[in-house]
A and B are shown apart, each in its own frame.
Chain A
Amino acid sequence: MSVLTADAKVRRIIADFPILQRPTSRGKRLVYLDSAATSQKPQVVIDSLVEYYSQYNANIHRGVYEIAERATAAFEKARETVAAFFNAQTQEIIWTRNTTEAINLVSHSWGQQNVRRGDAILVTQLEHHSNLVPWQVLAETTGAELRFIPVDDRGVHVLDNIDALLDGCKLVALSQVSNSLGTIAPLDTIIPRAHAAGALVMVDGAQAAPNMPVDLKALDADFYALSAHKMCGPTGIGVLYGKRELLEAMPPFLTGGDMIRKVEYAKSTYNDLPWKFEAGTSNVADAIAFAVAVEYLNGIGMEWVREHERQLVGYALDRLQTLEERGLSIYGPRDPDRIGDVISFNFGDVHSHDLASILDTEGICVRAGHHCTMPLMEKMGWPATARASFYIYNTEEDIDALVTGIEKAARVFKI
């Protein structure tokens, strides 16, 4: 037994997740290696949802009765909790449905106001479709040019021509951690360079916020997007962070109820931050439950989360390397210090969907396909990959199970 599998802290964490106590329909232990798609939820988060709906379900901001006031207070306290977790001001935290909606808010509101024909928007070749398609649409509608920071064959950013790429650039949009290859972006280099060139920076933090400490003040990104469901929270709630002066100057994205100050038949004035960007009834229950998730992660410690995953990635690389001579191809940076929470791979001539189906028979959940990064797959010449991703409740035993599962696929496919 290694130190990590015996780690009492991980055992305690596993005990917090009811789904990890249930065997699969084949009676196997659930080996959940798809947290980059969505994380599992601890009991405290599930309890928070039940508590809201069973004790104080009411619409917020308007009701003057007791349960409405309790719901409003919990909803706004949740915003404070999340703002503190990421070291942002409370008014800078806008609730959205998810990362995708947060990015769309910026591309529509800030983008349509600030990007003109002849400007450039810079993204990377690693981007998830959610941080690519909105910028394609903005470029198309404004006549701006879409440029790409290239990556090498290990999926690592190549910054040799960054100054030329930044010339005339209004916005750099990039993911902090690649959901396909795990690459950690060199934000410490890119953000100051972008600012020096007069460009703003939007960071897609969907794959970083769950896995490492994120201090938005220190990071100095202008916009930052994340999803709660990848970090122990419920689905349907996410965050757009924006620097206050930028958000103040931006027009609303969606319009309607709750985002207004005064409405006349002919015109309206808009509410203050953050409500200016929160039209309609908000996702009250899930915002409150997300704050519980954030407090749960705070109790574990984000430094610990990063170190735990770094060790798991290192162990997984060591174990998977033993299968390379039998036809396993491992993609991405191959260095635990440069990888967030995911490892992508293919095995011989076994298509990743067939591999995932065989692993499923052993209770092992991995993702297979293009991971919403079709242009990257095309560039690398991979039809699809299998992807294992790790979180706070994973252990070296889970990785051992993955290796055993791949060996089973070798037997089934007679490799």
Chain B
Amino acid sequence: MDDFYRDYILDHYRNPRNFGKLDRVDASAEDLNPLCGDQIRMELKLNNRGQVEDVKFSGKGCAISQASASMLTESIKGKSLSEIAKLPKEAVLENVGIGISPTRMKCAMLGLKVLKSAAIGELAAWPDEN
């Protein structure tokens, strides 16, 4: 598990990308992980073809949840809401790699859960339980 905290994870934790709020929000959601108290909010702005033009996230919590959410926001521009709704857990795991213990998996998946919730307009299931 200590191998997990690589430089780029710590970099995303301390310097999160796409962090903040949007001036215009077309879809949004927020949720928390009751285990840690991790909180994440995702806001999406869509272009006229219904694709993600901009994304911002905000929240607080452990390095795993915040870095996972930060990296996720870098990979979704241009995707439609239906594409986001179908994103598999690998969308996170290929960013953060291996080495997350089962109880910490929810920390990693919180950003994806919130993003999918924003896309479908209601709270999505935990991606690791699909």
Contacts and interface: CB of A to CB of B under 8 A. Distances in A.
A357 B37 contact: no
B104 A357 contact: yes
Given A349-B14, A369-B36, A413-B10, A354 B5 contact: yes
15 contacts: A351-B63, A353-B36, A353-B64, A354-B5, A354-B64, A357-B1, A357-B2, A357-B4, A360-B101, A361-B1, A361-B2, A368-B36, A369-B37, A377-B37, A408-B2
B35 interface: yes
B1 A351 contact: no
B60 A412 contact: no
A351 B10 contact: no
B65 to A, nearest CB: 8
Interface in A352-374: 352-354, 357-358, 360-361, 368-370, 374
Given A357-B104, A369-B37, A351 B62 contact: yes
B5 A358 contact: yes
B36 A351 contact: yes
Given A351-B61, A383-B37, A413 B5 contact: yes
Interface of B: 1-2, 4-5, 10, 14, 35-37, 60-64, 101, 104, 107
A354 B14 CA distance: 14
Contacts, number: 48
Nearest to B101: A357
Given A353-B62, A354-B62, A354-B63, A370 B1 contact: no
A352 B62 CA distance: 7
Sorted from nearest, which 4 A-B pairs have the closest CB atoms? A351-B62, A353-B62, A361-B2, A357-B1
A245 B62 CA distance: 50
A180 to B, nearest CB: 13
Contact of A412 (B5, B14, B35, B64): B5
B94 to A, nearest CB: 21
A322 B3 CA distance: 26
A62 interface: no
Most buried by A among B35, B37, B61, B64: B37
A78 interface: no
A370 B37 contact: yes
B98 to A, nearest CB: 14
Contacts of B14: 349
Most buried by B among A350, A357, A361: A357
B39 to A, nearest CB: 9
Contacts of B61: 351, 353, 383
Contacts of B107: 353
A413 B5 CA distance: 7
A414 interface: yes
B8 to A, nearest CB: 13
Contacts of A351: 36, 61-63
A330 interface: no
B30 to A, nearest CB: 16
A388 interface: no
Contact of B10 (A357, A374, A414): A414
A408 B3 CA distance: 12
A412 B104 CA distance: 17
A414 to B, nearest CB: 7
B32 to A, nearest CB: 11
Contacts of A384: 36-37
Given A353-B104, A354-B5, 4 more contacts: A353-B36, A353-B107, A370-B37, A412-B5
Contacts of B60: 383
